[in-house]
Chains A and B, each alone.
Chain A
Amino acid sequence: GENVEQHPSTLSVQEGDSAVIKCTYSDSASNYFPWYKQELGKGPQLIIDIRSNVGEKKDQRIAVTLNKTAKHFSLHITETQPEDSAVYFCAATEAGYGQNFVFGPGTRLSVLP
């Protein structure tokens, strides 16, 4: 089955700097890769996703890149703000009938003012 690894486990950046979180997946059949932000005591919130037929996707300060050959994808947050502080999870799934997500172990991002 699918296995997703995520690095780093913790990341501290100064406000205004960029943050990059990287994930790798094992199943070459996986073709949908969402990123979730989880704040303390809350459910995961979808922030961006990418399909395997696209190499990059951007939404304001957030971007995701995908390298299918290397089986890794990355989350990029630019101009970080204190409210970006949270745990970020990547996930992978083989899109299709009722497919579940396999989550990475998470990255705790701290944006220091």
Chain B
Amino acid sequence: EPEVTQTPSHQVTQMGQEVILRCVPISNHLYFYWYRQILGQKVEFLVSFYNNEISEKSEIFDDQFSVERPDGSNFTLKIRSTKLEDSAMYFCASSERGGRAQYFGPGTRLLVL
């Protein structure tokens, strides 16, 4: 069964450093998403991406964040200058169409020191 994959599974970085989180969505899916989950809290939407552009973003997704689909398979989330409060689990998800079932990857646990 196809699944969303994410790398790395864990990332530790120093405050102010840039990090890139990578995702490979399900191959025939057209919509891609990033969510984050701070430890013990609910999953929060960051951004959705379709047709090589951002279709929607939350207040969390400020200028420090960017997304890119550099090739036909990868979908990346970049945090330019990490802050302590960026420490969270970051989930990538994909769906065949907008508003349809979204399938989540296993997540990347980001720790900013």
Task: Please list the residues of chain A having a beta carbon within 8 angstroms of any beta carbon in chain B.
Answer: 31-32, 34, 36, 42-46, 49, 89, 93-106
Contact = CB atoms under 8 A, between A and B. Distances in A.
Contacts of A43: 4, 91, 104-107
B91 A44 contact: yes
Nearest to A45: B104
Interface string B26-68: 0000010101000001111100111000011010000000000
Contacts of B33: 100
Contacts of B105: 43
A101 B102 contact: yes
11 contacts: A43-B91, A46-B103, A95-B98, A96-B99, A97-B50, A97-B55, A97-B99, A98-B49, A101-B43, A101-B45, A106-B42
Nearest to B31: A98
A42 B106 contact: yes
A97 B45 CA distance: 15
A36 B98 CA distance: 18
Contact of A98 (B41, B42, B44, B56): B56
A99 B49 CA distance: 10
B15 to A, nearest CB: 25
Contact of B45 (A49, A94, A102, A104): A102
